[in-house]
Amino acid sequence: MPAWWESLSTFQQIMFAIAVPATLILFIFLILMIIGIDGSDAFAGDLDVDLDISDIDSINVEPITDISGLRILTIRGALTFLSIGAWMAYILDNYLQSWLAGLIGIISGAVAAFLVALAFKASLRLENEGNI
């Protein structure tokens, strides 16, 4: 293993050190999403409080798709950007110059984060329409 690590360029070592943890955390998020523990609604506890406050505004009961746009800057988006971008740059460093591999990695990571945001927005729209 040390011989393999030493055979990598410094750029590849950095990209590998970014890509592996980001991919592992993204994989853990995927497992948690599959079993249903993926967000703020993971705790479905119930709280019953009796308050007599007459000046409280009504609670906003709009669906989340009405108040949210395309959310690219999320933890999932950042992990996708780091994972896809770093793996792409790591692989392309063998064939291209490091700066070009890094630039293509940044672009591919940004595209991947955008596509993940689109996928989650589409799934929230399906949830809002009652299809899920």
Per-residue pLDDT tens digits for 19-47: 999 999 999 988 988 887 766 555 555 55
Q: How many CA atoms lie within 13 A of 30 on its CB side?
A: 9
Looking at residues 95-101, what average pLDDT do you find?
Answer: 95
Least confident of 3-7, 55-59, 73-77: 55-59
Looking at residues 46-62, what average pLDDT do you find?
Answer: 55
C-beta separation of 27 from 33 below 8 A: no
In the chain, what are the domain boundaries? 10-34+68-132
| Angle (CA) 124 129 132, round 5° | 65
CA 80 to CA 119: how far, in whole Å?
13
